[in-house]
Structure 1
């Protein structure tokens, strides 16, 4: 199966499952961390340390770290959208909203990603993809349910999360369009490091200097973000985007907010209701549709 397949390969399915768990659990973790660590300092520190860690792993594995000079400008745009735009906007957004609601708004990303992929990548908006988009967004709306009033009570948080989703969508489409000739590990490390440095430099001016050491739960949250949320999940996501069409990867990623809502219920005491079960059915249906499960004549294709 080539990278142009319209279905998820076995490798892509494993990556998707890991991403759903890794990033889904990270939403309540982020909420805990920003209660003590200012948002810009939090994201800048995690990106820089995580980026250095990924580059070190790439080096120890014997992979090349050299980025072709002709791709410098493209790399900077990827950094601006995927790292700076998404991380800054999402971190401030989650500080103003409950973690579950922030995750849901962040995962309106396919709403922007699918039309952008049609425009910039020439991907076709087939009937199956349109149906999957409707099912997936229906699931997100179902998860919002009674939270609509809560969203309206914090319009700035909503605006930040929607802008974050748009930045993420642009970054995904440009990553797929440009196909920078660099191994995924080194590409991920450079994106994280180059995105984190300006945030870390700006943090003391925006957030001020830290006044105390973080508590043990917050320290563990920082460690989780660096190792799982950034080093592993960003690599896995970049790999997934390069494996399959953007419409497939973006719609399949809708499983993540289900994990985010479940994690919020366990960690932060939010109670799931019938909306969560309806959303699960709609989102899982969207993932099944976009991957052609049950489509006649396609189940046994490789």
Structure 2
């Protein structure tokens, strides 16, 4: 069911805020835990919360007919996305890595045009490119330290998997229940990443202090469970490329939170990137008369 414009606006604002604060919160949490174990734990908790919420709708699950949809979404949107991201951040500075990952809305715009039949015209192309340029401009300050080709490739793979996964979510949204489509892939991803972390890392390295526990619970419930549910609702009820354009705001929110809570400074790059991102969102979302839409 399509969301009203007002409700979609509130859901979108919630999504951008939660996924924005996720970056500094995750950075803080990694002071107390190995990365893959943490990625697995927060996904497991988030998936269990969604599973409990979805349980009264168990008749809509229809696993015999839809299990492959959940499995494919889990691989693309959760296991590959979080796995590539977690490992890649150890190989590339965070600023550069985030700019690579947020190539996703550009790839999503192309995928939505090719596979979802969404319109593509000059202003939308310009907006998607400008948004990515804005993210890159903001992130350029983080481009210090060692940069490995492997890390860059992992960032690109993370962006590609998220873009393809989002297109797949949109294509299959009418075949599955939205809450189960969010809960099951997250649970699958949580199990896979937790087991991977258990094999490659040590649980003895986790410091079970109260700030870490509260941080992990917040991320699990608000960022993972409610955030992915909001993302699925938005993608399934509107144009995927337009929803994707607003995700350009996520690294901006992350940087503002870092300025407020981690003592990072406001830079010229941040201001310039903000202007470019706002212009990008306006260009992608502006309504164009059918007669003026370019046939590409």
TM over 0.5: yes
Supply the distance in 1 between the matched residues of 2:237 and 2:158 (Cα, whole angstroms).
Answer: 23
Structure 2 contact 33–207 (Cα < 8 Å) conserved: no
Structure 1 contact 27–103 (Cα < 8 Å) conserved: no
* Compared CA separation, residues 287 and 127, structure 1 to 2 (3 A): same
Instruction: State which of 167, 175, 183 in structure 1 corresponds to 2:177.
Output: 183
Equivalences for residues 178-217 of structure 1 within 5 A: 178-217=172-211
Partner of residue 172, structure 1: 166
**Pair 1:47-2:43 in alignment:** yes
Partner of residue 19, structure 1: 15
* Compared CA separation, residues 254 and 38, structure 1 to 2 (3 A): same
Supply the distance in 1 between the matched residues of 2:187 and 2:228 (Cα, whole angstroms).
Answer: 12
Supply the distance in 2 between the matched residues of 1:82 and 1:153 (Cα, whole angstroms).
Answer: 25
Supply the distance in 2 between the matched residues of 1:168 and 1:282 (Cα, whole angstroms).
Answer: 23
Equivalences for residues 103-122 of structure 1 within 5 A: 103-122=98-117
Give the alignment's Cα RMSD to 1 decimal. 2.4
How far 1:11 sits from its partner (Å)? 2.2
Which segment drifts farther, 11-20 or 91-100? 91-100
How far 1:64 sits from its partner (Å)? 4.1
How far 1:153 sits from its partner (Å)? 3.1
* Compared CA separation, residues 270 and 52, structure 1 to 2 (3 A): same
Instruction: State which of 131, 138, 141 in structure 2 corresponds to 1:143.
Output: 138
Instruction: State which of 59, 80, 83 in structure 1 corresponds to 2:75.
Output: 80
**Pair 1:59-2:55 in alignment:** yes
Which segment drifts farther, 64-73 or 114-123? 64-73
Stretches of structure 1 that go unaligned for 5 or more consecutive residues are 298-302
Instruction: State which of 98, 119, 135 in structure 2 corresponds to 1:124.
Output: 119
Partner of residue 300, structure 1: none
Partner of residue 237, structure 1: 231
Equivalences for residues 262-301 of structure 1 within 5 A: 262-292=256-286
Which segment drifts farther, 79-88 or 35-44? 35-44
What is the number of equivalent residue pairs in this alignment?
290
Supply the distance in 2 between the matched residues of 1:243 and 1:284 (Cα, whole angstroms).
Answer: 23
Q: Please give the TM-score of this superposition, normalised by the length of structure 1.
A: 0.87
Listed one character per residue, the Cα deviations across residues 52-104 of structure 1 (whole Å, up to 9, x for unaligned) are: 111111225x5645135232222211110001011111122334455444433
Supply the distance in 1 between the matched residues of 2:206 and 2:88 (Cα, whole angstroms).
Answer: 24
Structure 1 contact 54–185 (Cα < 8 Å) conserved: yes
Structure 1 contact 96–157 (Cα < 8 Å) conserved: yes
How far 1:169 sits from its partner (Å)? 0.6
Partner of residue 257, structure 1: 251
Supply the distance in 2 between the matched residues of 1:212 and 1:23 (Cα, whole angstroms).
Answer: 24
Structure 2 contact 43–224 (Cα < 8 Å) conserved: yes
Supply the distance in 2 between the matched residues of 1:106 and 1:271 (Cα, whole angstroms).
Answer: 23
How far 1:27 sits from its partner (Å)? 0.1
Equivalences for residues 146-165 of structure 1 within 5 A: 146-148=141-143, 150=144, 153-165=147-159
